Structure 1
């Protein structure tokens, strides 16, 4: 596959996961080539921290967006021989435990406490010595030091500060990646100008911290799947799970208390989008990967 065709196939992935961005005012954000570059960087990794979990204040439980993308990426990285550490808070821990069982992910799950976060995060670095850190739908602190939902509600008093991990990573020269969909997640400092100008409550909620690579998706789970799809193409191996597995994972999250971040209900939806709509995105990504692998087998050329 020549360079032009290679770029086009990754552009297709980006196009698929951009669905729904206009409803959030995020559609003007464009980072061409970012998915391919981010995945290529992950291929160089040895130990990867994946930070996820977004607490919904009304239910004091984690939402369905984030853990699916995180566990999909964790599984892909483990299949590629990488060591993974999943990091979350008390509100999403049970969801991740159940997801790991379904996907046979062996990564340890570390729970960041609400107090003494810095000491805890320092210990994580000393224990695991990560080469890369990824955030998928993780609340980020705004410029005022507070943490907000997309509606502008202050959730600082319930969400442990995990920005510390990314601040320390920058000090140590560790590569950082993030996936988000609304502007209030870790990593969005990279596109803060767009968020302030076009997203509702943007100036208030925009996460201040920036990451080396940023994937902007209509739903953050889709961003996790996009990275997995990109890794699949770069290694000519189908690393994306199938539709049946996606349903099992979402059901397990609901059973563990997870809620839709928009409806705040325990139902098989993500960010107000039906199961059917979410599965459609995964199907499209799998189709793109299947095409890419066929092209490789036919032409014997690495993307």
Structure 2
């Protein structure tokens, strides 16, 4: 069933070339990628932290306040699964310019966005409260290194998941899918991955284009299969790399696999919630990264396409738990 989940979300409907990235990424794991990623989360206890890195400032050269909905929606769905299923505390790390937008999307999914102290109180209180914390990364390189060390030491996350988060390329810049430099205003969250790996904390990189954090682990495949791949490929290498058709789908797949592994069907995503989140995007101020418009679409695809993927995943969960 896990192989089926990988196939569902691996549909390269945008024709970006990610199909060619799956085999080398799969060779890094002993089981289908969704299961390998979910297994890093399957033993969470109440109060455990999981870092979720996201945020694509896809028009940074115009304004660093412009970010896309691919990434924050997936992060919201994954955060929901972790807090609903385990009473864990997801800590979502983004650029300062989009903290409010990311928090708004997460709250549309169900969790309350609180401070660290409030989240700790909520988890320790007998009456359940779903919580997530959103924090801003920093841009300055030396400050970002120090912040990464502090974050990992302070929270001691059980895993670090990056979704649709551009990673530094070989020349230290951040590159979009055209190979263009779009580094303006971008927090250097790559160092969080470095700090986690140094402490043997599992790391997962989810993306749909090869320029995302983690894809340095399959650099040769990115260069071969992705246009401008030799220029845009991220340097950082995560333990698990999950190439998918749309980055949000990778989070949905992990939530589905986690639902099967832990026998918790309620943490899987639903088409109803998917529509709610996509339709909320324009009001929140998150664009479709492909069209550049404040539309209820993701990567140029209408809601119905994303609902279809989610419905297929839901069927896989039912079969997996059957």
- Cα displacement string for residues 83-108 of structure 1 (whole angstroms, at most 9, x for unaligned residues): 21111113432222112222232111
Instruction: Note the C-alpha offset of 1:22.
Output: 7.0
- 2:176 equivalent to 1:170: no
Of the three residues 136, 140, 165, the one matched with 1:111 is 136
In structure 1, runs of 5+ residues without a counterpart are: 1-8, 296-303
Query: Equivalent residue of 2:161, what SS?
Result: strand
- Asked if 2 retains the 8 angstrom alpha-carbon contact of 1:21 and 1:27, the reply is no
2:83 paired residue number: 78
- Asked if 1 retains the 8 angstrom alpha-carbon contact of 2:212 and 2:234, the reply is yes
Of the three residues 193, 211, 225, the one matched with 1:184 is 211
Query: Equivalent residue of 2:92, what SS?
Result: strand
Relative to structure 1, the CA distance from residue 263 to residue 59 in structure 2 (aligned partners, 3 Å threshold; closer, same or farther) is: farther
- Cα displacement string for residues 3-43 of structure 1 (whole angstroms, at most 9, x for unaligned residues): xxxxxx11110111011267112211221612111111211
Whole-angstrom CA distance in 2 between matches of 1:157 and 1:95 = 18
Instruction: Note the C-alpha offset of 1:283.
Output: 0.9
- Asked if 1 retains the 8 angstrom alpha-carbon contact of 2:274 and 2:306, the reply is no
1:288 paired residue number: 316
Whole-angstrom CA distance in 2 between matches of 1:37 and 1:228 = 12
Aligned residues: 286
1:41 paired residue number: 40
Of the three residues 247, 252, 260, the one matched with 1:233 is 260
- Asked if 2 retains the 8 angstrom alpha-carbon contact of 1:49 and 1:85, the reply is yes
Relative to structure 1, the CA distance from residue 214 to residue 176 in structure 2 (aligned partners, 3 Å threshold; closer, same or farther) is: same
Of the three residues 201, 216, 230, the one matched with 2:228 is 201
1:299 paired residue number: none
Whole-angstrom CA distance in 2 between matches of 1:59 and 1:263 = 16
2:119 paired residue number: none
Greater mean alpha carbon deviation, residues 270-279 or residues 87-96: 87-96
Whole-angstrom CA distance in 2 between matches of 1:83 and 1:36 = 21
Query: Equivalent residue of 2:235, what SS?
Result: coil
2:243 paired residue number: 216
1:125 paired residue number: 152
- Asked if 1 retains the 8 angstrom alpha-carbon contact of 2:95 and 2:138, the reply is yes
Of the three residues 5, 10, 31, the one matched with 2:2 is 10
- Asked if 1 retains the 8 angstrom alpha-carbon contact of 2:57 and 2:186, the reply is yes
2:72 paired residue number: 67
Whole-angstrom CA distance in 1 between matches of 2:217 and 2:80 = 27
- Cα displacement string for residues 121-173 of structure 1 (whole angstroms, at most 9, x for unaligned residues): 22322331212111011010111111101111111222111111001111122
Query: Equivalent residue of 1:185, what SS?
Result: coil
Query: Equivalent residue of 1:179, what SS?
Result: strand
Query: Equivalent residue of 1:228, what SS?
Result: helix
Q: CA RMSD in A?
A: 1.6
Whole-angstrom CA distance in 1 between matches of 2:190 and 2:221 = 21
Whole-angstrom CA distance in 2 between matches of 1:152 and 1:158 = 18
Query: Equivalent residue of 1:42, what SS?
Result: coil
Scaled by the length of structure 1, the TM-score of the pair is 0.90
1:245 paired residue number: 273
Greater mean alpha carbon deviation, residues 21-30 or residues 45-54: 21-30
- 2:271 equivalent to 1:271: no
Of the three residues 93, 98, 107, the one matched with 1:87 is 93
Relative to structure 1, the CA distance from residue 21 to residue 199 in structure 2 (aligned partners, 3 Å threshold; closer, same or farther) is: farther
- Asked if 2 retains the 8 angstrom alpha-carbon contact of 1:98 and 1:252, the reply is no
Query: Equivalent residue of 1:28, what SS?
Result: helix
Of the three residues 102, 105, 123, the one matched with 1:99 is 105
